[in-house]
Amino acid sequence: MDIVEGLPQGKALDLNQSGPVVGYEPNMVGTNGYEETSGSDIVVITSGFPRQPGMSRDDLLAKNKEIVGGVASEVKDRSPDAIVIVVTNPLDAMCHVTFDTTQFPRQRVIGMAGILDSARFRTFLAWELGVSVRDVTGFVLGGHGDTMVPVVSYTNVAGVPVRQKISEQRLEEIVQRTRDGGAEVVKLLQKGSAYYAPAAAVAEMVDSIVFDQKRVLPCAALCQGEFGIDGLFVGVPVRLGAEGVEEIVEIELEDDERAELEKSASAVQELVEALRTV
Protein backbone atom coordinates (compact mmCIF):
# COMPACT_ATOMS: atom_id res chain seq x y z
CA MET A 1 0.00 0.00 0.00
CA ASP A 2 1.31 3.46 -0.93
CA ILE A 3 -0.19 6.91 -1.28
CA VAL A 4 1.42 7.38 -4.72
CA GLU A 5 -1.11 6.37 -7.35
CA GLY A 6 0.08 3.57 -9.62
CA LEU A 7 3.27 2.84 -7.69
CA PRO A 8 2.03 -0.09 -5.56
CA GLN A 9 -0.04 -1.46 -8.43
CA GLY A 10 3.02 -1.44 -10.70
CA LYS A 11 5.25 -3.08 -8.11
CA ALA A 12 2.63 -5.75 -7.41
CA LEU A 13 2.30 -6.51 -11.13
CA ASP A 14 6.08 -6.76 -11.48
CA LEU A 15 6.33 -9.09 -8.48
CA ASN A 16 3.47 -11.27 -9.72
CA GLN A 17 5.20 -11.69 -13.07
CA SER A 18 8.38 -12.92 -11.35
CA GLY A 19 6.44 -15.81 -9.83
CA PRO A 20 6.85 -18.23 -12.77
CA VAL A 21 10.62 -17.65 -12.71
CA VAL A 22 11.24 -17.71 -8.97
CA GLY A 23 8.58 -20.32 -8.27
CA TYR A 24 5.84 -18.92 -6.04
CA GLU A 25 2.07 -18.86 -6.40
CA PRO A 26 0.55 -16.14 -4.14
CA ASN A 27 -0.72 -13.01 -5.82
CA MET A 28 0.35 -9.54 -4.71
CA VAL A 29 -2.15 -6.68 -4.62
CA GLY A 30 -1.10 -3.05 -4.88
CA THR A 31 -3.41 -0.42 -3.48
CA ASN A 32 -3.70 3.23 -2.51
CA GLY A 33 -6.21 2.51 0.26
CA TYR A 34 -6.35 0.50 3.46
CA GLU A 35 -9.39 -1.62 2.67
CA GLU A 36 -7.30 -4.33 0.98
CA THR A 37 -5.11 -4.62 4.08
CA SER A 38 -8.04 -5.54 6.35
CA GLY A 39 -7.52 -8.67 8.42
CA SER A 40 -3.75 -8.75 7.97
CA ASP A 41 -1.74 -11.12 10.15
CA ILE A 42 1.42 -9.00 9.85
CA VAL A 43 1.78 -5.34 8.91
CA VAL A 44 5.16 -3.77 8.08
CA ILE A 45 5.21 0.02 8.43
CA THR A 46 7.79 1.72 6.23
CA SER A 47 5.83 4.94 5.65
CA GLY A 48 7.74 8.05 6.53
CA PHE A 49 9.30 11.31 5.51
CA PRO A 50 13.03 11.35 4.68
CA ARG A 51 15.16 13.88 6.48
CA GLN A 52 15.79 16.93 4.31
CA PRO A 53 18.62 19.50 4.43
CA GLY A 54 17.96 22.00 7.20
CA MET A 55 15.46 19.72 8.93
CA SER A 56 16.06 19.18 12.64
CA ARG A 57 15.54 15.90 14.47
CA ASP A 58 12.40 17.36 16.05
CA ASP A 59 11.08 18.33 12.62
CA LEU A 60 11.52 14.73 11.44
CA LEU A 61 9.98 13.43 14.64
CA ALA A 62 6.90 15.62 14.18
CA LYS A 63 6.39 14.70 10.54
CA ASN A 64 6.83 10.97 10.99
CA LYS A 65 4.84 10.92 14.21
CA GLU A 66 1.90 12.19 12.17
CA ILE A 67 2.46 9.73 9.32
CA VAL A 68 3.09 6.62 11.43
CA GLY A 69 0.30 7.54 13.83
CA GLY A 70 -2.13 7.71 10.91
CA VAL A 71 -1.02 4.33 9.55
CA ALA A 72 -1.14 2.72 12.99
CA SER A 73 -4.68 4.01 13.52
CA GLU A 74 -5.80 2.34 10.29
CA VAL A 75 -4.07 -0.89 11.32
CA LYS A 76 -5.80 -0.83 14.69
CA ASP A 77 -9.22 -0.47 13.07
CA ARG A 78 -8.77 -2.89 10.16
CA SER A 79 -6.35 -5.53 11.48
CA PRO A 80 -6.84 -5.61 15.26
CA ASP A 81 -5.06 -8.96 15.64
CA ALA A 82 -2.02 -8.09 13.53
CA ILE A 83 1.62 -8.17 14.55
CA VAL A 84 3.21 -4.87 13.52
CA ILE A 85 6.82 -4.50 12.41
CA VAL A 86 8.01 -0.89 12.41
CA VAL A 87 10.80 0.21 10.03
CA THR A 88 10.26 3.98 9.83
CA ASN A 89 12.90 6.22 11.42
CA PRO A 90 13.56 7.41 14.04
CA LEU A 91 12.90 3.72 14.65
CA ASP A 92 12.71 3.52 18.43
CA ALA A 93 10.46 6.59 18.67
CA MET A 94 8.16 5.33 15.91
CA CYS A 95 7.73 2.05 17.81
CA HIS A 96 6.37 4.11 20.69
CA VAL A 97 4.01 5.98 18.36
CA THR A 98 2.72 2.68 16.96
CA PHE A 99 2.37 1.08 20.38
CA ASP A 100 0.56 4.08 21.86
CA THR A 101 -1.77 4.41 18.87
CA THR A 102 -2.72 0.76 18.43
CA GLN A 103 -2.67 -0.12 22.14
CA PHE A 104 -1.72 -3.63 21.04
CA PRO A 105 0.01 -5.95 23.56
CA ARG A 106 3.74 -5.33 23.68
CA GLN A 107 4.57 -8.62 22.00
CA ARG A 108 2.75 -7.50 18.84
CA VAL A 109 4.70 -4.28 18.17
CA ILE A 110 8.31 -4.85 17.08
CA GLY A 111 10.99 -2.65 15.53
CA MET A 112 13.30 -3.78 12.75
CA ALA A 113 16.78 -2.45 13.39
CA GLY A 114 19.04 -4.90 15.20
CA ILE A 115 19.00 -7.50 12.44
CA LEU A 116 20.08 -4.89 9.89
CA ASP A 117 22.79 -3.44 12.14
CA SER A 118 23.99 -6.94 13.01
CA ALA A 119 24.15 -7.87 9.32
CA ARG A 120 26.38 -4.87 8.68
CA PHE A 121 28.60 -5.80 11.63
CA ARG A 122 28.90 -9.42 10.44
CA THR A 123 29.63 -8.32 6.88
CA PHE A 124 32.50 -6.05 7.91
CA LEU A 125 33.97 -8.77 10.14
CA ALA A 126 33.73 -11.38 7.37
CA TRP A 127 35.52 -9.04 4.97
CA GLU A 128 38.23 -8.35 7.53
CA LEU A 129 38.88 -12.05 8.11
CA GLY A 130 38.24 -13.30 4.59
CA VAL A 131 35.61 -15.81 5.73
CA SER A 132 31.99 -16.56 4.87
CA VAL A 133 29.43 -14.28 6.49
CA ARG A 134 27.54 -17.44 7.44
CA ASP A 135 30.32 -18.33 9.87
CA VAL A 136 30.24 -14.97 11.67
CA THR A 137 27.90 -14.79 14.64
CA GLY A 138 27.25 -11.49 16.34
CA PHE A 139 24.54 -8.99 17.12
CA VAL A 140 23.92 -5.34 17.81
CA LEU A 141 21.75 -4.08 20.66
CA GLY A 142 20.45 -0.69 21.79
CA GLY A 143 18.85 2.15 19.89
CA HIS A 144 18.98 2.38 16.11
CA GLY A 145 21.39 5.27 15.90
CA ASP A 146 24.84 6.52 16.84
CA THR A 147 24.68 4.84 20.25
CA MET A 148 23.96 1.30 19.03
CA VAL A 149 25.97 -1.41 20.79
CA PRO A 150 27.73 -4.11 18.73
CA VAL A 151 28.27 -6.82 21.36
CA VAL A 152 31.85 -7.90 20.75
CA SER A 153 31.95 -10.28 23.71
CA TYR A 154 29.37 -12.55 22.04
CA THR A 155 30.85 -12.28 18.55
CA ASN A 156 32.65 -15.28 17.09
CA VAL A 157 33.78 -16.91 13.86
CA ALA A 158 32.76 -20.58 13.73
CA GLY A 159 32.87 -20.55 17.53
CA VAL A 160 36.22 -18.76 17.84
CA PRO A 161 35.90 -15.45 19.75
CA VAL A 162 36.54 -12.60 17.34
CA ARG A 163 38.96 -10.99 19.80
CA GLN A 164 41.33 -13.89 19.13
CA LYS A 165 41.40 -12.98 15.44
CA ILE A 166 41.22 -9.16 15.31
CA SER A 167 43.03 -6.55 17.41
CA GLU A 168 41.02 -4.32 19.76
CA GLN A 169 41.92 -1.22 17.75
CA ARG A 170 40.73 -2.76 14.49
CA LEU A 171 37.60 -4.09 16.18
CA GLU A 172 36.76 -0.59 17.38
CA GLU A 173 37.10 0.70 13.81
CA ILE A 174 34.69 -2.00 12.60
CA VAL A 175 32.28 -1.17 15.43
CA GLN A 176 32.32 2.49 14.39
CA ARG A 177 31.76 1.62 10.73
CA THR A 178 28.75 -0.44 11.83
CA ARG A 179 27.33 2.55 13.68
CA ASP A 180 27.85 4.67 10.56
CA GLY A 181 26.53 1.94 8.25
CA GLY A 182 23.33 3.65 7.20
CA ALA A 183 24.99 7.02 6.67
CA GLU A 184 27.70 5.38 4.54
CA VAL A 185 25.07 3.96 2.18
CA VAL A 186 23.20 7.28 2.00
CA LYS A 187 26.41 9.14 1.18
CA LEU A 188 27.25 6.73 -1.64
CA LEU A 189 23.77 6.73 -3.14
CA GLN A 190 23.40 10.53 -2.80
CA LYS A 191 19.65 10.05 -3.21
CA GLY A 192 17.76 7.55 -1.11
CA SER A 193 18.92 5.11 1.55
CA ALA A 194 19.57 1.41 2.13
CA TYR A 195 16.95 -0.89 0.64
CA TYR A 196 18.04 -4.49 0.08
CA ALA A 197 19.52 -5.23 3.51
CA PRO A 198 16.57 -3.68 5.41
CA ALA A 199 14.15 -5.65 3.23
CA ALA A 200 16.06 -8.88 3.89
CA ALA A 201 15.98 -8.15 7.62
CA VAL A 202 12.21 -7.62 7.56
CA ALA A 203 11.76 -10.85 5.60
CA GLU A 204 13.74 -12.75 8.23
CA MET A 205 11.44 -11.41 10.94
CA VAL A 206 8.29 -12.22 8.95
CA ASP A 207 9.51 -15.78 8.27
CA SER A 208 10.19 -16.36 11.95
CA ILE A 209 6.67 -15.22 12.84
CA VAL A 210 4.70 -16.84 10.00
CA PHE A 211 6.47 -20.19 10.30
CA ASP A 212 6.75 -20.00 14.12
CA GLN A 213 10.49 -20.55 13.85
CA LYS A 214 11.20 -19.03 17.27
CA ARG A 215 14.44 -17.47 15.99
CA VAL A 216 16.42 -15.47 18.52
CA LEU A 217 16.98 -12.17 16.74
CA PRO A 218 17.92 -8.63 17.81
CA CYS A 219 14.80 -6.48 17.49
CA ALA A 220 13.40 -3.34 19.10
CA ALA A 221 11.01 -4.53 21.80
CA LEU A 222 9.30 -2.84 24.73
CA CYS A 223 11.45 -3.62 27.75
CA GLN A 224 9.71 -3.83 31.10
CA GLY A 225 12.65 -4.34 33.42
CA GLU A 226 14.80 -6.48 31.15
CA PHE A 227 18.44 -5.34 31.05
CA GLY A 228 17.44 -2.77 33.69
CA ILE A 229 15.40 -0.85 31.08
CA ASP A 230 11.76 -0.04 31.76
CA GLY A 231 9.11 1.35 29.45
CA LEU A 232 11.30 1.82 26.36
CA PHE A 233 11.60 0.20 22.95
CA VAL A 234 15.26 -0.79 22.68
CA GLY A 235 17.09 -3.33 20.57
CA VAL A 236 17.44 -6.58 22.53
CA PRO A 237 17.61 -10.30 21.69
CA VAL A 238 14.07 -11.65 21.32
CA ARG A 239 12.52 -15.01 20.52
CA LEU A 240 10.24 -14.39 17.57
CA GLY A 241 7.36 -16.79 16.97
CA ALA A 242 3.72 -16.94 15.98
CA GLU A 243 2.73 -14.68 18.89
CA GLY A 244 5.36 -12.07 18.06
CA VAL A 245 7.89 -11.36 20.80
CA GLU A 246 7.60 -14.52 22.88
CA GLU A 247 10.55 -13.70 25.14
CA ILE A 248 13.19 -11.05 25.62
CA VAL A 249 16.35 -13.11 26.03
CA GLU A 250 18.58 -11.55 28.68
CA ILE A 251 22.32 -12.16 28.40
CA GLU A 252 25.26 -11.30 30.61
CA LEU A 253 27.05 -8.26 29.21
CA GLU A 254 30.51 -7.03 30.08
CA ASP A 255 30.58 -3.89 32.22
CA ASP A 256 31.46 -1.57 29.35
CA GLU A 257 28.79 -3.11 27.12
CA ARG A 258 26.15 -2.70 29.81
CA ALA A 259 27.22 0.93 30.27
CA GLU A 260 26.94 1.49 26.52
CA LEU A 261 23.47 -0.10 26.48
CA GLU A 262 22.37 2.19 29.31
CA LYS A 263 23.72 5.17 27.36
CA SER A 264 21.83 4.03 24.27
CA ALA A 265 18.63 3.62 26.28
CA SER A 266 19.07 7.17 27.58
CA ALA A 267 19.29 8.42 23.99
CA VAL A 268 16.03 6.60 23.19
CA GLN A 269 14.46 8.17 26.29
CA GLU A 270 15.38 11.61 24.97
CA LEU A 271 13.63 10.82 21.68
CA VAL A 272 10.51 9.64 23.49
CA GLU A 273 10.45 12.79 25.60
CA ALA A 274 10.89 14.92 22.47
CA LEU A 275 7.85 13.14 20.98
CA ARG A 276 5.67 14.63 23.68
CA THR A 277 6.60 18.16 22.66
CA VAL A 278 6.09 17.89 18.89
Instruction: Write out pLDDT tens, residues 163-175.
Output: 999 999 999 999 9
Nearest to 91 by CA among 50, 151, 145: 145
pLDDT, residue 103, reads: 98
Q: What is the pLDDT of residue 255?
A: 97
Neighbouring C-alpha atoms within 13 Å toward the C-beta of 213: 13
What's residue 57's pLDDT? Answer: 61
The ranges of the chain with pLDDT < 70 are: 51-58
- Per the annotation, the verdict on 144 as an active-site residue is yes
List C-alpha distances in Å: 251 to 143, 231, 254.
17, 19, 10
Give which of 163, 139, 166, 167 is closest to 151, Cα–Cα.
Answer: 139
Please identify, in words, the CATH class of the domain defined by 7-111.
alpha beta
Contact 220, 91 (CB under 8 A): yes
pLDDT at 94: 96
Can 7-111 and 114-275 be said to share one CATH topology? no
CA dihedral 275, 202, 150, 48 (to 10 degrees): -30
Contacts of 181 (CB under 8 A, 6+ apart): 117, 120, 194
What pLDDT does 59 receive? Answer: 75
Selected catalytic residue, list 65, 122, 144, 179: 144
Cα dihedral 151, 156, 161, 164 sign: negative
Q: Is domain 114-275 in CATH 3.90.110.10, yes or no? A: yes
Q: Is 121 in contact with 140 (CB distance < 8 Å)?
A: yes
Name the CA dihedral angle for 215, 209, 65, 70, rounded to a multiple of 10 degrees: 180
Domain ranges of the chain: 7-111, 114-275
Model pLDDT, residue 60: 82
Q: Which of 114, 109, 82, 87 lies closest to 98 in space, CA to CA?
A: 109
